[in-house]
């Protein structure tokens, strides 16, 4: 079957790619565009490891067809830092030891950014419910929640 030509903007840069109709955005990000920071943990939308922002809205890249990205802005983990400056979320994840193996971390940081873009001062319960779509098997979430709280405080100041 003929491939589809897709024009998007990824992490602030215009990006074009060809994809098969059945290919997911996750497959194209990882295999075609080599943006491997976005992870596959389940490919069924249950783990959040492939979290990306589509025009600022949090989506699972595994649940979206690549062709659907046409004309949209996509932000992946590779686009969260500004040049050499880590985003406060990235720095706070490091400071709080909020990652162990690190494979869920890109998804958590992208999902947390979507939360803080929408609600700069979320309480613990809001953070826990917002991040309920992101699975972490290592940390028990405690330090992740604290890192997000701390990053929110820094972004507000």
How far is residue 146's CA from residue 124's CA, in Å, rounded to a whole number? 8
Residues in 103-132 that interact with other proteins by CB under 8 A: 103-106, 109, 124-125, 127-129, 131-132
How far is residue 19's CA from residue 3's CA, in Å, rounded to a whole number? 5
For the chain, what is the total number of helices (H) and then of strands (E)? 5, 5
- Cβ atoms of residues 148 and 112 within 8 Å: yes
Counting contacts by CB under 8 A, is residue 21 touching other proteins? Answer: no
How far is residue 123's CA from residue 137's CA, in Å, rounded to a whole number? 23
Closest approach of other proteins to the CB of residue 122, in Å? 12
- Cβ atoms of residues 113 and 48 within 8 Å: no
Binding-site member from 32, 54, 73, 133 for other proteins (CB under 8 A): 133
Counting contacts by CB under 8 A, is residue 28 touching other proteins? Answer: no
Binding-site member from 18, 46, 55, 117 for other proteins (CB under 8 A): 46
Residues of this chain that interact with other proteins (CB under 8 A) are 20, 30, 35-44, 46-47, 49, 76-78, 80-81, 86, 90-91, 93-97, 99-106, 109, 124-125, 127-129, 131-146
């Amino acid at each position: 079957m003929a491939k589809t030509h897709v024009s998007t903007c990824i992490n602030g840069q215009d990006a074009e790619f060809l994809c098969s109709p059945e290919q997911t955005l996750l497959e194209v990000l990882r295999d075609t565009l080599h943006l491997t920071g976005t992870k596959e943990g389940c490919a069924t939308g249950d783990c959040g490891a492939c979290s990306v922002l589509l025009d600022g809205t949090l989506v699972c890249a595994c649940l979206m067809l690549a062709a659907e990205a046409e004309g949209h802005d996509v932000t992946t983990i590779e686009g969260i830092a500004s040049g050499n400056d880590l985003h406060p979320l990235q720095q706070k994840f490091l400071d709080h030891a909020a990652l162990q193996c690190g494979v869920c971390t890109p998804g958590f940081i992208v999902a947390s950014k979507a939360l803080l873009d929408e609600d700069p001062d979320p309480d613990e319960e809001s953070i826990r419910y917002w991040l309920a779509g992101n699975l972490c098997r290592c940390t028990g979430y405690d330090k992740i929640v604290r890192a997000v709280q701390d990053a929110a405080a820094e972004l507000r100041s």
